[in-house]
Amino acid sequence: MPITPEQQAEIDESRAAARPTLRAVSEGMEERLYKAHPVLDHGIVRVIDYMGNDSAITQAARVSYGRGTKSVNSDEGLIRYLMRHWHSTPFEMCEVKLHVKLPVFVARQWIRHRTANVNEYSARYSILDREFYIPAPEQLAAQSTVNNQGRGETLQGAEAARVLDMLREDAMRSYDHYEAMLSQDGQQGLARELARMNLPANIYTQWYWKVDLHNLFHFLRLRADPHAQYEIRAYAEVIADITRDWVPFAYAAFEDYRLGAVQLSAKGAEILKRRLAGETITMENSGMSKGEWREFEAIWGQA
């Protein structure tokens, strides 16, 4: 289960203790505070704190650019201008702190986004719970034959059952050994910092992750993309929903200019111009590699 009854009671207590504030608040984010949003089989995402809202972005932009923004009549219009022209600093004025419970292999992929502050649960000091990520059957897939980083056809029948059995058995066996190696009941055993090395990458860890909105958008652009690995994408989609409630104007602009947009190279722009002029373009006369041409046609279609 993602959270225990004791943890839920703590969340309910925190949400009941409302306090007046002079800070700028986001009504949407106030509704999200402390609530645990389930992800995967045992994971959660929970908002611990946040700073700023849509108005904080425009306030910073107007300080920075002065009269240059006077012709923009609304906060929404200004935010869309900032997003459209890749201005980043105003979005850095907003921050969010999340409590995330996630499998270790997802955490190792996530930590590559080095523009956040992270404090992770320490297995040197504490004993990890017996919780492992076991994929749903529809997420079991063979290696893709065209993408070395991706998945191919979904495993079926006996093969899927065999893989799931191995995942469960290996996880439980490794945790049994982990417990057996630890110092318990006054008996001398292996130090926690060493016993943990036997645990598999699908065991759950937890961390606090604090990031500004500009870098959060970069994370979401990569990890909420349909091509991202499913497990981290599941977290990104929950965080995207939270962000939409937090800064609705900024998220709408991000969705339009980043998530829903496509990138066109100078060579690609030239090919589109040639197409519009009536020229038939093939991979052979495009000047693109096979990979570039395949991606170009996937977005812009065949001539």
pLDDT digits 0-9 by tens, 87-143: 999 999 999 999 999 999 999 999 999 999 999 999 888 889 999 999 988 888 777
Number of domains in the chain: 3
- Are 76 and 214 found together in one domain? yes
pLDDT tens digits, 23-52: 889 999 999 999 999 999 999 999 999 999
* Residue closest to 174 by CA, chosen among 132, 126, 123, 125: 132
Residues 43, 144: one domain? no
Please identify, among 183, 199, 215, the residue that sits at the C-terminal boundary of a domain.
199
> Which of 178, 199, 220 delimits the end of a domain?
199
The model's pTM is 0.87
Catalytic residue numbers, as ranges: 223
| Pair 32, 47: CB distance under 8 Å | yes
**Residues 101 and 177 both lie in one domain:** no
What is the predicted pLDDT for the residue at 38? 95
The last residue of a domain, from among 147, 171, 199: 199
3-class secondary structure per residue, 90-144: HHHHCEEEEEEEEEHHHHHHHCCCCCCEEEECCCCCCCCCCCECCCCHHHCEEEC
What's the pLDDT at 152?
65
Q: What is the CB neighbour count within 10 angstroms for residue 231?
A: 19
Domain with 158 in it: 137-199
In degrees and rounded to multiples of 5, residue 64 shows phi and psi of -70, -40
Q: Do 98 and 19 belong to one domain? A: yes
Residue 147 in 3-state DSSP?
coil
For position 44, which CATH number holds?
3.30.1360.170
pLDDT for the residue numbered 230: 93
| Residue 249 and residue 171 share a domain | no
